[in-house]
Amino acid sequence: MDLKELNCIFLNKHPWETARLTAIKRILTPYLFKTNNILDIGCGDGFVSRMLFGNVLNTEVTAVDVNITDLQIKQLSAVSNNIYYTRKIPDSVKYNILLLLDVIEHVEHEVDMITNIVKNNLSHGGKVLITVPAYQSLYSNHDKYLGHFRRYSLVSLEFVAKKSGLTVISSGYLFSSLLIAKYIMYKIFHSNNIDGVGHWKRGRSITYITDKILSIENLALIYLAKIGLKFPGLSGWVLCKKP
């Protein structure tokens, strides 16, 4: 979750967040090592790293967010022994997994940023997972509120990854059903609501059911992408490696 949308660190999570977590786990699992040193840039409230890697044996995570406060660092550090929260990337430390989850759309010159991080902080053969909001035609007031410079197609996302010196392993979209909903609300009803995932207030039953539907959909999209069938979705992802 973007810290701009954060009301409480341990609030009830939006199904988009929990379903995305399931998808990220599915994408990464075949490429994790016996010992993992992970750099999570733009970690927000630390949800992904905390749920996937918190207190996992032989795994250390550096979770970086320039907007994280000292109080938030203290609260998050109390629930994960192996995650180090900071506002700055440590100098000259090499990692074998780099996470850029809904980050590069916040950066004006994203190729320069990725190139520098890959050069300075990623081990040779290390993996990089990048996720982004999809389709520039859906750029809205919510994107402006979050400080997004742009949205991406898979073509433009893969271009950025390759230009940053990475080799693309696989890519695809997530949340096809939410893409349809977003299109209807934005293009047909002209809704420009800036409320995001931090404003989810539905009950546990609706949250659970929605999460399961979205998670099954995303797992199907990931499988289909691997056999060359890439259906459009609200989020794009690309998994890369450092040559």
Mean predicted confidence (pLDDT) in 24-49: 94
pLDDT at residue 207, rounded to an integer: 86
Give 187-241 pLDDT, tens digit per residue. Answer: 665 556 545 555 556 667 888 899 999 999 999 999 999 999 999 999 999 999 9
pLDDT at residue 96, rounded to an integer: 96
Tokens (6 digits) for 107: 């950066």
pLDDT at residue 189, rounded to an integer: 59
Pairing mode of beta strands 235-241, 36-41: unpaired
Distance separating alpha carbons of residues 126 and 222, to the nearest angstrom: 21
Report the range out of 80-84, 125-129, 191-195 with the highest average pLDDT. 125-129
**Chain mean pLDDT for the chain:** 90
Tokens (6 digits) for 197: 């995932």
Distance separating alpha carbons of residues 230 and 141, to the nearest angstrom: 28
**27, 223 Cβ separation under 8 angstroms:** no
Least confident of 5-14, 58-67, 68-77, 128-137: 5-14
pLDDT at residue 204, rounded to an integer: 79
What is each CA distance from 122 to 29, 171, 188, in whole angstroms? 18, 20, 44
pLDDT at residue 212, rounded to an integer: 96
**235, 221 Cβ separation under 8 angstroms:** no
Distance separating alpha carbons of residues 218 and 160, to the nearest angstrom: 23
pLDDT at residue 91, rounded to an integer: 86
Distance separating alpha carbons of residues 48 and 42, to the nearest angstrom: 11
**Residue carrying the six token digits 């010159």:** 109
Tokens (6 digits) for 207: 């949250």
Task: Pick the closest to residue 239 from 81, 130, 89, 144 (CA basis).
Answer: 130
Which strands sit side by side in the sheet containing 83-86, from one edge to the other?
Answer: 83-86, 59-64, 36-41, 95-101, 122-133, 235-241, 167-174
The phi and psi torsions of 102 (rounded to 5 degrees) equal 55, 55
pLDDT of 76 higher than 70? yes
Q: Which residues of 138-150 are buried (b: 16+ CB within 10 A; e: fewer)?
A: bbbebbeebebeb
Walk me through the domains of the chain, giving residue ranges and CATH numbers: 3-241 (3.40.50.150)
Share of the chain above pLDDT 90, in %: 71
Concatenated DSSP letters of 203-229: -HHHHHHHHHHHHHHHHHHHHHHHTT-
Chain-centroid distance, C-alpha 53 = 15
Give 158-184 pLDDT, tens digit per residue. Answer: 999 999 999 999 999 999 999 988 878
